[in-house]
Amino acid sequence: SSCLGGEDIFAAVRENSPDGQFIANLSIAGDPRPSGIRLALSGDSADWFSLEGNTIRLNASFSRALDRESEYRIMAEILNENDNKPVFMEETVQPVAVSELAAVNSVVFVVKAVDADEDTIVYVIDRSLPDSSYFRIDLPNSGDVILSKHLDYETKTQMQLAIYAEMNTPEKYNTSATIMINVLDGDDQYPQFQPCVPLTQDAVHPICTNPIYTVNVTEAHQFSPGRIRAVDGDRGLDAPLLYTILSADDGCFHIDNQSGEVTMSRLAEHRLLMPTFQLQASQVDDPRKYTITSAVVRVLAQNHFAPQFNSSTYVGFVPQSRESSMLVSTHGNQALLLQAIDRDFQDGINPKVHYSLWPKSNNTRLYHMTQEGYVIAKGNLLPASEKQVIATDQESGEVARATVEIVALQRGERAPWSLFGGQKRYTLHVDVVLAGGIMAAVLLLLLVTLMFLLLWLVRRWRQQQDVAAKDSVAQGKHRNV
């Protein structure tokens, strides 16, 4: 009965305390020796202490001093009859919220159970649950639950942990509680431009790369490319973002720093210039968390007119020659140039027009069309043929067609000058009209001169007649008298 009614003792001792330092008195009824009670210290750290009657003293030496960096515990075990189960205190087993940024090895929450017999309680984590690997309890009777590894809101937002509270008695009565752990989103993700371009097949937690935005703008047209959207990678936080255009795009575009609305501040001028600029989205609350992507602007030509050939048929001549390839010529031995004119362009030349011949010649590719509009004949002794030349505007998809008749010349024969076929006709026609006009003018001049001469001659003859008449009057010798 002298052993009953004992209690736990809590004592503190300074580090580097001398040998024999008083630690605590054990309170028992009466003097141990005469009453036949034997006191003993037990446990791993028992040799750090010695007993003097009912007084516990420090057992240290010069070579063995207490230091704070170690932990020593004595457990006083008092046995009693035990008939009650421990009970968790309700408020310590409520759902808890833990930030995903909580430090590993820190205490994330504390559970506590009580026992009517006031026994020491040992807390044990049920390792059969999958989430138990995230937690541990280092000091079995503390109830301090420690985080073992990093939490990640992006992969797991809720966890379950079962903890046993067990009495440290031979009966090992226990009780268990399940605790819901809600993981809170911490700011550990960067913003992402939308839509997400997934790098992996994982549909639940895709890893995104930023999209590259492209937009078509028609030359000399005001146009609003629209809204660009990025989201915070921490969906639980959804921090507001700030949009900026990083690289100087000569000020053509403007982005609203809050909404991401992109507008053009002036017209796109240079058709062949393809502005590319960098867009940045950063968190307003933490500018170090940002993401960058590119935007490519394609400036398209205005398209009011389709390309057109200036004739529906062309004639080309290929001389018989030993050369392996030569230009196909037209009348007057000039190179045959087949260019489609696009009136959207000042000089009529649309650089996006692609030329091809149809049908394509068989494997030897006898004729080849350059992108400047010349036709090259390959090989000699080519047969005469008729082909279609197709000009395609690769920007608008518009197509122009014309026919080319290719005539094979005899050896030594020259391409004829022609008034009737091909392109020379027009210029020669102009010459003929001009020549005709000049000739008509000269003839007219000649006619007028002749008329004047005739008039003059007639006058002169009349005058002579008159003079002759007057003469005869003066002399009174009228021919009729």
Ligand X SMILES: *[C@@H]1O[C@H](CO)[C@@H](O)[C@H](O)[C@H]1NC(C)=O
With CB under 6 A as the contact rule, which of the stretches 53-61, 100-108, 403-411, 461-469 interacts with ligand X?
Answer: 53-61
**Nearer residue to ligand X within complex by CB, 55 or 209:** 55
The footprint of ligand X on residues 125-184 (CB under 6 A) is 164, 166, 172, 174
Say whether residue 26 binds ligand X (CB under 6 A): no
For the bound state, the minimum distance from the C-beta of residue 317 to ligand X, rounded and expressed in Å, comes to 15
Among 16, 155, 160, 216, binds ligand X (CB under 6 A): 216
18: left (phi > 0), else alpha (psi -120 to 50), else beta? beta
- What is the rounded CA–CA span in Å between residue 149 and residue 98? 13
Say whether residue 327 binds ligand X (CB under 6 A): no
**Interacting residues of 304 by C-beta distance below 8 A, sequence separation 6+:** 343, 344
**Nearer residue to ligand X within complex by CB, 64 or 354:** 64
Written as six digits, the tokens of 69 are: 């960096």
For the bound state, the minimum distance from the C-beta of residue 340 to ligand X, rounded and expressed in Å, comes to 8
Of 253, 258, 257, residue with least CA distance to 295: 253
The C-alpha angle with vertex 103 and arms to 72 and 285, in degrees rounded to 5, equals 150
**Interacting residues of 473 by C-beta distance below 8 A, sequence separation 6+:** none
For the bound state, the minimum distance from the C-beta of residue 52 to ligand X, rounded and expressed in Å, comes to 9
Yes or no: say if 104 and 148 are a contact pair by the CB < 8 Å rule. yes
Say whether residue 368 binds ligand X (CB under 6 A): no
For the bound state, the minimum distance from the C-beta of residue 175 to ligand X, rounded and expressed in Å, comes to 8
For the bound state, the minimum distance from the C-beta of residue 41 to ligand X, rounded and expressed in Å, comes to 7
CA distance readout (Å), 212 to 28, 40, 225, 244: 81, 77, 14, 15
Each residue 246-265 as x (binds ligand X by CB under 6 A) or -, in order, gives -----------x--------
Say whether residue 310 binds ligand X (CB under 6 A): yes
The footprint of ligand X on residues 415-434 (CB under 6 A) is 423, 426
For the bound state, the minimum distance from the C-beta of residue 78 to ligand X, rounded and expressed in Å, comes to 20
Q: Are strands 261-264 and 253-255 parallel, antiparallel or unpaired?
A: antiparallel
- What is the rounded CA–CA span in Å between residue 209 and residue 398? 36
Among 17, 45, 50, 472, binds ligand X (CB under 6 A): 50
Q: How many residues bind ligand X (CB under 6 A)?
A: 26
- What is the rounded CA–CA span in Å between residue 79 and residue 100? 43
- What is the rounded CA–CA span in Å between residue 448 and residue 438? 15
- What is the rounded CA–CA span in Å between residue 159 and residue 477? 159
Say whether residue 291 binds ligand X (CB under 6 A): no
DSSP secondary structure code for residue 257 in this structure:
T
Say whether residue 292 binds ligand X (CB under 6 A): no
Residues that bind ligand X (CB under 6 A): 25, 47, 50, 55, 59, 61, 64, 124, 164, 166, 172, 174, 214, 216, 242, 257, 298, 300, 310, 337-339, 373, 395, 423, 426
